[in-house]
Structure 1
Amino acid sequence: MSPDTLRIAEMTLDDHPDFLAMMRRTPGVVIRNADGFDATARYLDRNPGMSFVARHAEHDGIVGCAMAGHDGRRGYLQHVMVEPAFRGLGIARDLVKRSLDALLAAGIEKVHLDTLAENADAHRFWEHLGWANRNAEIVKFSRVLVDDPEA
């Protein structure tokens, strides 16, 4: 792939329809209410310059995405995805690097991410990049604050 066929840019709300379409096509990804337009707008507004999308000249829509943000202490990577046909080209690595660089520039020194338990491809990818699986030491609890199982 030549550099002129791939373009990586900061994610904007204009990317939201393509973002949702890619989520629907990507195995191992679950769409929740928090992926809706308004929630994505809040996330991007609260974490400017930390989320990125990749577009390829020969593909309609985005071929990759990485969303990142922080709470002032810790960073979080979310929705790191690459279209299956474009995997193995370093797109995810580049998207993640840009997000991590932005988090570090904001003073964030540690970053977390979640994957679905059955997403073995994601587990292999993150371990390949040097991320540690901390399931043995961390138990995650969640609580839905509204009467909606898709929250």
Structure 2
Amino acid sequence: MNVSVSPSPLAIAHIADADVETVVALWQRCGLTRPWNDPHADIALARREANSTVLIGRDGHAIVASAMVGHDGHRGWIYYVAVDPDCRKRGYGRMIMAAAEDWLRQAGIAKLQLLVRRENKQAGAFYTSLGFEESTSVMFAKWLDGRDPTP
């Protein structure tokens, strides 16, 4: 599946093997990783099936943005939206989100969802500016490996 956005300084493509460590480092710099989620395993899982991928954005040779995108055949989900802290305020977040939305549209998915931690007001404002609305649904979670549900 091809990914394209309007011409810009950000070249967007699917992640390659050689990009994995750089993307994990980007996620860590952006504070997106958590001890209970192995980012390497998340990338491997997203790359394993046709219904998910990790998109990366390059400014020149440097990877400066990412988004993990996938769907269950009905709803699309986006995770790990990241823009290098040194490259913010250049529109890269909007560009990587537009590419993720395009990827889902090409897959025939009409609804997109994502999760934002309540304390991350900046991310919430960003997604609101892109037309996202806070859902009225309540999310429930359960750890299947017996760990404490309160991180």
Q: Same fold (TM over 0.5)?
A: yes
Q: Does 85-94 or 37-46 show the bigger shift?
A: 37-46
Q: CA deviation at 1:37?
A: 2.2
Counterpart AA for 1:85: D
Does residue 51 of structure 2 align to residue 43 of structure 1? no
Provide the residue aligned with 2:56 in structure 1. Answer: 53
Structure 1: distance between partners of 2:18 and 2:146: 29
CA distance in 2, matches of 1:128, 1:39: 27
Identity %: 29
2:139 & 2:133 partners in 1: Cα distance?
A: 15
2:144 aligned partner, one-letter code: L
State the superposition RMSD in angstroms. 2.6
Long gaps (5+) in structure 2: 1-6
Find the aligned partners of 1:39 and 1:126 in 2 and give their Cα distance.
22
Q: Give the structure 1 partner of residue 121 of structure 2.
A: 120
Give the superposition deviation at 1:75: 0.4
Matches within 5 A, 1:17-96: 17-27=21-31, 29-47=32-50, 50-57=53-60, 59=62, 62-96=63-97
Gaps of 5+ in 1: none
CA distance in 1, matches of 2:61, 2:109: 36
Alpha-carbon distance, 1:4 to partner: 8.5
Equivalent residue number for residue 15 of structure 1: 19
Letter in 2 for 1:138: S
Instruction: Give me the TM-score of the superposition, normalised by structure 2.
Output: 0.81
